[in-house]
C-alpha cells in the first residue's frame, strides 16, 4: 500500500504562494504560475520524488541548518521560476511529508545557489 503524501510549506514558501494566489486574480502570468505550482504539487503527491534531485554538495548551507535537509529536489515552473522541496517520513511513518522550502524566481534561485551571470 502506498503511503499518502502530505504537502507542507515553509513560512517563506507559504507567503510567496499566497501572494501569487492573490495576484493570480488580476494577472495572467501570475495565474499561470500559481496553476503550475498546484499541478506540480499534485504530481509530487502522486510521486514524492517527481522533482530533479540536487546533488548534496550543492544544497545551500542555510537549508541544511534551518530545515535539516539532506535531500533537496527542484521542480521547474513557468517563467524560469523554481520550487524547492525535501521529502521524508513523518515521526510515526504513516505518511510521507513533502516540505516545500522555497518558491523563487530565476534571479533569486541563482543567488541561492551562488550561480554567476555570464
Per-residue confidence at 8, pLDDT binned at 50, 70, 90?
very high
Farthest-apart Cα atoms in the chain, separation: 48
- pLDDT one-digit tens code per residue, 10-31: 999 999 999 999 999 999 999 9
Looking at residue 35, what DSSP letter applies? H
Distance CA 63, CA 80 (A): 21
Instruction: Domain ranges for the chain, please list them.
Output: 5-112
| pLDDT-above-70 percentage for the chain | 92
- CATH T-level assignment (fold) for domain 5-112: YaeB-like fold (3.30.2310)
pLDDT of residue 114: 82
pLDDT in tens, 68-78: 898 999 999 99
Mean pLDDT of the chain: 90
The C-alpha cell at 26 is 488580476
Copy the grid coordinates of residue 78: 513557468
Secondary structure (DSSP) of 38-63? HHHHHHHHH-TT-SEEEPGGGS-HHH
Amino acid at each position: 500500500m502506498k503511503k499518502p503524501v502530505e504537502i507542507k510549506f515553509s513560512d517563506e514558501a507559504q507567503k510567496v504562494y499566497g501572494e501569487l494566489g492573490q495576484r493570480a486574480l488580476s494577472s495572467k502570468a501570475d495565474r499561470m504560475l500559481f496553476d503550475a505550482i498546484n499541478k506540480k504539487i499534485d504530481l509530487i503527491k502522486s510521486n514524492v520524488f517527481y522533482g530533479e534531485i540536487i546533488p548534496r554538495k550543492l544544497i545551500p548551507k542555510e537549508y541544511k541548518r534551518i530545515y535539516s535537509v539532506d535531500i533537496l529536489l527542484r521542480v521547474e515552473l513557468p517563467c524560469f521560476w523554481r520550487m524547492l522541496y525535501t521529502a521524508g517520513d513523518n515521526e510515526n511513518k504513516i505518511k510521507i511529508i513533502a516540505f516545500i522550502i522555497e518558491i523563487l524566481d530565476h534571479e533569486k534561485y541563482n543567488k541561492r545557489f551562488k550561480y554567476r551571470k555570464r
